Amino acid sequence: MARNLLGIRQLSTDEIGELIKTAAEYKARIEANKPVPEIKNKVIGMLFFENSTRTRMSFEQAAHYLKLKTANFVASGSSMSKGETLKDTVLTLRYERLSGLVMRHRQSGAPTLAARFFGGPVLNAGDGRHEHPTQALGDGLTIIERKGQIEGLKVAIVGDVEHSRVARSDAWLLSKCGAEVRLVGPRTLIPQNTSLLPGTVFHELSAGLADVDVIICLRLQRERMEEGSLSSLNEYAKLYQVNRETLRYAKPDVLIMHPGPINRGIEVDDTAADGESSAITAQVENGIFVRMAALHWVFAGEHQA
């Protein structure tokens, strides 16, 4: 039976800890130029139906370190452009003898659908507004490296929570690991049914950032927004930008994070993005190691019941 990585909410706290620990071990080995365990005789299909730089490149780099072969899928040049359904595409890839799939898709639940028909491991690289589990695992690793632990921390997730799969995965991971989660943003960018997400809602930035240990800034996903969700970029920046002035509400040693891509001057200023408190580049690097851990985890467990 295949083991999939479709979302953080399905993982136990022990499984989250196992994945982060494995990622840290891979990182230590690579930084020390020591060999890492290889995944032999496997081919992973890279199905990216949405644009991606960080996630795609880090999955490819992770596969490279593991000596895992990759096969890239381009939707525009496939039979899907002729009307083939996602189900039939997945079945085709299954019988092309691919060993596993990494999938990013605009529709929430697409990787879950793929997992029903593929027969091998499926890893969710981001689906609609649903989840982005490997980004959350990388964020967890980064926080532990800089803060020593997650349990007991106060973490503010700031900005466009409504459209963010990263916010959802981060909220689940942080909550499961014992952090206090705050969802901070304007009413139009906070999900209406917040009872489905762990965390306390704040609409005022000063209150949301009060005494927090970690701030996770989110990109404004204007391509997903309905008309009227945002009055203007200038007003948003005035009320919710994390910058030199608004950082004074948080703890002096606050950690600043952002899953990228960053809209500088809107979500964050240069001080927040590039200062000593920023862990944004560490998040990018750690993405490689958590995706190595994720690939190891799904293939190591694919025959477990």
Looking at the annotation, which residues are catalytic? 54-55, 82, 104, 132
Length of the chain: 305
Q: Which long-range contacts (CB under 8 A, 24 or more apart) does 275-283 make?
A: 277/247, 277/253, 279/142, 279/143, 279/146, 279/255, 280/256, 282/142, 282/145, 282/146, 283/138, 283/139, 283/142, 283/257, 283/258, 283/259
| Contact call for residues 218 and 157 (beta carbons, < 8 A) | yes
Q: Which helix (H) or strand (E) is 207 found in, with range?
A: helix 205-209
DSSP letter assigned to residue 179: P
Compute the distance between CA of residue 287 and CA of residue 199 in angstroms, rounded to an integer: 24
| Contact call for residues 198 and 171 (beta carbons, < 8 A) | yes
| Contact call for residues 229 and 188 (beta carbons, < 8 A) | yes
Q: Which helix (H) or strand (E) is 299 found in, with range?
A: helix 280-300
| SS3 assignment, position 215 | strand
Strand order in 100-105's β-sheet? 69-73, 43-48, 100-105, 122-127
